[in-house]
Every structure is written in structure tokens, then in C-alpha cells.
Amino acid sequence: MKLDKWKIFWGAGLILLSAFFYFVHYLIFRDPHHIFIYMVGDFAFVFIEVLLVTIIIHELLSYRDKRDRLYKLNMIIGVFFSEIGTELLKLFSEFDQNSEKMRENISSCMDWHDEQFQTAFKSCKNYEYHIDIDKKDIGELKDLLTNKRHFLVTLLQNPTLLEHGTFSNLLWAVFHLTEELAYRTDIKDLSDTDYEHIANDMKRAYVLLTTEWLFYMKHLNSNYPFLFSLAMRTNPFDPNASPEIG
């Protein structure tokens, strides 16, 4: 670790000042025994001070700061799902050939607890995502993403998202898919290789989006039951979902 010259200068100056005042104390009182008693006591307390300030107080402040950042981050994630994430997830699931199996695992999570969410995370990890572009009109997906492009760029510029690696990866995956679709003028007349490339981009975003949606649902379930209720009534994996309370 490189030390700046000014730090060395001030460190040496403070030590010399301390030595000077100890010397003045000796000249006045002629009592080295008293000086060394307090010197040793001060040195002994330094370790307790390090424990209190550097470890305990610092950890408490770091925990509070982390909690505040996480709160702001979850607000941004909530805006993302309200603006585009939920609708995008619904579209992806309609391109998924195995969507019925995914619906069985996730569609009924209204009364879930932590154990059920953990099981769902494992199911998503082992789930075989299979995107079939011919299953639905991909032009609808292109329109959604291109219309929300400015919104995605705004999110990517938010420094708070640097604290959340998985959500940042999701945004980049969705933004990359947006760019791929935007550069193709005739999305319905592409080569097989091009279709396969876009299908892989869709799958990457779909996997990340599903996992992030589960994490966000778990957060809402634990902290904001009223928001969780609405999220379940607009569940993108439930074909019978309705925002209205019947």
C-alpha cells in the first residue's frame, strides 16, 4: 500500500508533538513514573477503542447504510417490474415450450413462506428453458422493448444498481436483446441462424428475469404484503390472473 508524503509528514509531526508534551510534563513534574503509568494505560485502551470504533460502530453504520441502499434498490426493481418486467416475463413465458411446468411451480405462490421460495429457486435453476420464436409473434416483443428503451437506458445509468450484480446482469441482458431486435428492420424474415441467436438472447434474459422476479416476490411477501397481493393478482405465470379482487 502506497502512503502519501503528506500522511507520513503529519504522522511524524503528531508523534513529535506527543513526545514534546511528554517532555514538558517531565520538566514540570519530574515524575517519569506517573508519565509511564498513563502512557501504558493509554496504549492498553487503544485496542478497546479499535474494537469499539473500527469493528462494532463501523459494522453498525455499514449495516444501516447497506439496509438503506437495499431499500432504494428494491424500489428501483419494483419500478422495473411495474414498467416492463412483469409484461416482459409474461411474453417470455408465452414463447416457452415448457411454460406449463413453470406455471405449476410458480403460479400459486400467494401463501408461500421462505421454504417454498427456496424450493422455487431450485426448481428455476434446474428448469429447462426452451424458447420457440415461432410460438408467438416476436414483433410484439420487439415493440415492447423498443418502446421501453429509454427507460432501460435510464436504469442502467443509476449508480445504485452497481450494488446488485444479478439485477445489473438482467438489465444488460434485456438491453442487449432490445438492441438485437431494434437493428433488424424485418423481424419476421430472418435466417435460421439469426432466429437461433435471438432465441439464445431471449433465453438468457428469461432465466435472469424469472430468478429476479422470485427474489422480488420474496421481498414483497416479507415486507409489503399489500404490494405482494397485487403482484400475485397480476402474476405473469398465471393465465387466469386478474388485478380485480373477486
Whether the model pTM is above 0.75: no
- Assess whether pLDDT exceeds 80 at residue 113: no
C-alpha cell at 81: 417490474
Radius of gyration in angstroms for the set of CA atoms belonging to the chain, rounded to a whole number? 29
Question: Which pLDDT score is estimated for 100?
Answer: 78
- Assess whether pLDDT exceeds 70 at residue 2: no
Question: Which pLDDT score is estimated for 146?
Answer: 92
pLDDT in tens, 20-78: 887 887 788 777 777 777 777 777 777 777 777 777 777 777 777 777 777 888 888 99
- Assess whether pLDDT exceeds 60 at residue 1: no
Q: What is the mean pLDDT of residues 187-199?
A: 84
Mean pLDDT of the chain: 82
- Assess whether pLDDT exceeds 80 at residue 181: yes
Q: What is the dihedral of CA 159, 162, 166, 167, to 10 degrees?
A: 0
Say how far apart CA 161 and CA 69 lie, in whole Å.
Answer: 10
- The residue extents of the domains of the chain are 5-59, 74-233
Say how far apart CA 68 and CA 202 lie, in whole Å.
Answer: 33
Grade residue 130 by pLDDT with cuts at 50, 70 and 90.
confident
Do 105 and 217 contact (CB within 8 A), yes or no?
no
Residue whose C-alpha is closest to residue 35's, from 13, 15, 18: 18
Residue linked to cell 437495499: 70
Residue whose C-alpha is closest to residue 164's, from 86, 89, 78, 223: 78
Question: Which pLDDT score is estimated for 151?
Answer: 92
- Assess whether pLDDT exceeds 70 at residue 107: no
* Between residues 188 and 108, the one the model is more confident about: 188
- Assess whether pLDDT exceeds 70 at residue 158: yes
* Between residues 2 and 58, the one the model is more confident about: 58
Question: Which pLDDT score is estimated for 74?
Answer: 85
Residue linked to cell 485502551: 45
Question: Which pLDDT score is estimated for 243?
Answer: 77
* Between residues 41 and 228, the one the model is more confident about: 228
Grade residue 162 by pLDDT with cuts at 50, 70 and 90.
low
Grade residue 109 by pLDDT with cuts at 50, 70 and 90.
low
Q: What are phi and psi of 96, to 5 degrees?
A: -85, 125
